[in-house]
């Protein structure tokens, strides 16, 4: 059984995983830079994500209202934290 299957990673394994992840990210960034801007692709992906969110119920009026109230609670918390830092 691998260490990830057991639910824990050693520091060394985690470090190697992160290094590989970052290397792949750099390769992806280089490929994107070489490919250049793809506005049509960006629009298609954005519309697809919006439709998926709508189909999953994330864009229903009740879900949006819940999200707004959650966002407002976060804003209030940040305001309190900022006020404490200003003292």
- Tens digits of per-residue pLDDT, 1-39? 454 555 688 889 989 999 999 999 999 999 999 999 899
Query: Please, what is the average pLDDT of the chain?
Result: 87
Structure tokens at 17: 């995983």
Residue bearing tokens 């057991």: 6
pTM, 2 dp? 0.41
Q: Among 18, 68, 78, which Cα is nearest to 9's?
A: 18
Q: Per the structure block, which two tokens stand in for 27? A: 């390769």
List the domain boundaries for the chain. Answer: 11-86
Q: What is the rounded distance in angstroms from the CA atom of residue 38 to the CA atom of residue 44?
A: 10
Each residue of 15-38: b (16+ CB within 10 Å) or e? eeeeeeeeeeeeeeeeeeeeeeee
| Cα(32)–Cα(41) distance, integer angstroms | 12
């Amino acid at each position: 059984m691998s260490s990830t299957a057991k639910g824990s990673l050693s520091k060394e394994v985690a470090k190697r995983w992160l290094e590989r992840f970052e290397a792949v990210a750099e390769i992806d960034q280089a490929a994107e830079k070489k490919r250049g801007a793809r506005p049509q692709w960006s629009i298609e992906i954005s519309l697809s994500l919006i439709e998926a969110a709508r189909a999953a119920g994330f864009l229903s009026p009740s879900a949006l209202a819940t999200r707004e109230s959650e966002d407002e609670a976060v804003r209030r918390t940040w305001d309190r934290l900022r006020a404490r830092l200003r003292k």
